[in-house]
Amino acid sequence: MILRKILMSSNICGNTKQLLPIMCNFVRYKSSEVEKSQRTSYAKQQTTIFDKIIAKEIPSDIIYEDDKCLAFNDVNPQAPVHFLVIPKRRIPMLDDISDNDRDILGELIIRAQQLAKERLPNGYRLVINNGKQGCQSVYHLHIHILGGRQLTWPPG
Ligand code: 5GP
């Protein structure tokens, strides 16, 4: 709202004004993702939306599945290609990983790499958000794979 007021009252060209709704939506999206991660209580989340996706109780755009892991397109993509690779066994977050999880972590990374190489020959990024300040909103460990445009650094 504030951004809209500032831009509308400033002396900006027509093209920029046309971009205004897009910019406002972007700012709204960014803050809503952060807000979501701030609201999410780790202890409260016994199961997550990803359990429902694994159980096929809700629809998702699945791109790979085996007995250990699942990959599906993100419902709110942040790049032309944005998918998630998750373990079927629920591990809430990276902080919960121990030496016993070496195998599944290896599986997830190798699967992410194989799917990414097929889809993103010019490069890609793997991201794991961990905890509130890491902007994690779903407490079922997942790797984001993003690409299909020039990514920038540092991330927000
Ligand atoms: P996090 O912020 O926890 O690292 O990422 C969670 C991701 O899961 C977000 O990018 C969000 O868009 C995605 N997501 C949340 N709910 C769903 C859903 O129901 N379906 C799909 N495909 N992705 C989801």
Pocket test for ligand 1, best of 62, 70, 74 (most atoms within 8 A of CB): 74
Out of 18-27, 31-40, 123-132, which region has the weakest mean confidence (pLDDT)? 18-27
Q: How many residues does the chain have?
A: 156
140-156: per-residue pLDDT in tens? 999 999 999 999 999 98
Domain-wise residue ranges, the chain: 1-39, 42-147
Give yes or no for a contact between 43 and 140, defined as CB atoms under 8 angstroms apart.
no
Cα(113)–Cα(110) distance, integer angstroms: 5
Split at pLDDT 50, 70, 90, the class of 3 is: very low
Residue 95, CA distances (Å) to 90, 99, 100, 136 in order: 13, 12, 13, 12
Q: Is the CB of 75 under 6 A from ligand 1?
A: yes
Q: How many CB atoms lie within 10 A of CB 12?
A: 13
Instruction: Give the H or E element holding residue 156.
Output: none
Name the DSSP class of 100: G
Q: Indicate whether 26 pLDDT > 60.
A: no
CATH 3.30.420.40 corresponds to the domain 42-147: no
- Enter the pTM of the model: 0.82
Split at pLDDT 50, 70, 90, the class of 34 is: confident
